[in-house]
Amino acid sequence: MSTRAIRTPPGGVDLSCDVCGRTLLRGERAHPYLDRGTRRTVCELCTARAEHEGWLREGTVPEYAQADSHRDRRRSLLGRLRRRREADRAAAEPHTEAIKAPTAAPAPERRRLRVRPTRSVRAVPTSIEQRIAHAIRAFNASEHPRTVAGVARSLGLPEVSVRPLPNQPSLMAVVVAWELYWYRYEIDLADEEGGVRLAAQGQELEELSAAEREANAVCDERGMLSPA
């Protein structure tokens, strides 16, 4: 597998990811996050882990407090006006004892049954070639090729393995590996709406099994996969 030399960003300032601790490569994009008021730097590979830890991407913090305060002031003003109007109406009406008609018993409340949406389940292809093709098509339709393409600009094109998980024929694993980094994505072919999820990532190829390190697919500069 060919590798490229790792270069520091222009100006000699090394940026490192506050999640994985890795020094960012030249051309690699860094994302600013907020962690309880502290500004953090997160690489493209660790944005999902940062959001899982509760970090907020800078510039996306909603101004709930201001909106709630405005709504509270508006409700308080409307309440005062409503109470004043009711007091004026009561003072203008003659003080006569009202004869109330007997009220009918309230109709029994009908309880609505909540219907759960049905989960779309489709048949899993029988042959391994068809399952690999379906998994590659699902991966290419997801947002993950963009991440793979960003890393490939610094580390070169990766080796790709697409195989079913042992004892789970409908669950496919897509492993994208460089010499310095790797991802494992999982795709459930029986669940149309499940999508593609990042299951694991690491920095040592020895963490992968021998089958996962045996390439049977290729990746282009856009991060798109195709069978080898």
Region at 54 (left for phi over 0; alpha for psi -120 to 50; beta for the rest): left
Three-state SS sequence of the chain: CCCCCCCCCHHHCCCECCCCCCECCCCCCEEEEEECCEEEEEEHHHHHHHHHCCCEECCCCCCHHHHHHHHHHHHHHHHHHHHHHHHHHHHHCCCCCCCCCCCCCCCCCCCCCCCCCCCCECCCCCCHHHHHHHHHHHHHCCCHHHHHHHHHHHHCCCEEEEEEECCEEEEEEEEEECCCCEEEEEEECCECCCCEEEEEEECCHHHCCCCCCCCCEEECCCCCEEEC
- Amino acid identity for residue 38 in this structure: T
Distance CA 211, CA 16 (A): 32
Spell out the per-residue pLDDT of the chain, length 228, in tens: 444 444 444 455 678 899 988 888 877 888 899 888 788 999 988 998 888 888 888 877 554 444 455 555 556 656 766 777 777 777 666 544 444 555 556 665 666 656 555 555 566 777 899 999 999 999 999 999 999 999 999 999 999 999 999 888 789 999 999 998 899 999 998 886 778 999 999 999 999 999 999 999 999 999 999 998
Q: Supply the pTM of this predicted model.
A: 0.50
